[in-house]
Amino acid sequence: MKVYILAVLLAVVCVSSAQFPAGWNYNPYLYFPYSALQPPAQETAEVAAARASHMAAHAAVARRARSVEDTPEVRAATIEHYRAYNEAALANGVFAFLPARYANMPWAMPQPVQDTPEVAAARRTHLAAHALAAARG
């Protein structure tokens, strides 16, 4: 019976404290004016001019920046290095069951598939047939 009374008393205290949001010295009504959103600060003319010159400097640097491509020799050496790395990783116990690590290869994006000469010739023939059919009406 004592456990039952204690459990009911604990439940009443928990429910009543959950209904009163000012626990732990938190009173949303007291601090409400300070929690409202303030309007954003307006820039002065000097700040706007400094921001414009800063963005212009960024744009000038971005126009000059060029990505440096690897030479074919460096690219081949990098690929050979990764192949040797994968072979060494396959020789070690746990890594023998993992797939090869080609995620860190030097290519940034997959390149589009290039047509073979036969496919290019067939494409030209096909497009010529389309042009002829369109010319006939």
Distance of CA 55 to the CA centre of its chain: 24
State which of 2-6, 47-51, 111-115 shows the largest mean pLDDT: 47-51
- Three-state SS for 43? coil
Stated pTM of the model: 0.26
**Tokens standing for 119?**
């496919």
Q: How confident is the model at residue 90 (pLDDT cuts 50, 70, 90)?
A: confident
Dist. CA 42–CA 47, nearest whole Å: 10
The predicted-structure confidence for 64-77, as pLDDT tens digits, reads as follows: 877 778 889 998 99
Q: Identify whether 32 is part of a domain.
A: no
Domain span including residue 80: 71-105
**How many separate domains does the chain show?**
1
Q: Identify whether 96 is part of a domain.
A: yes
Q: Identify whether 95 is part of a domain.
A: yes
Q: Identify whether 82 is part of a domain.
A: yes
The predicted-structure confidence for 97-122, as pLDDT tens digits, reads as follows: 666 555 555 555 566 788 899 999 99
CB–CB of 107/79 below 8 Å? no
Q: Identify whether 65 is part of a domain.
A: no
DSSP symbols for 49-116: HHHHHHHHHHHHHHHH--PPPPPHHHHHHHHHHHHHHHHHHHTSTGGGGSPP--TTSS-SSPPPPPPP
| Residue predicted with more confidence, 115 or 88 | 115
CB–CB of 106/70 below 8 Å? yes
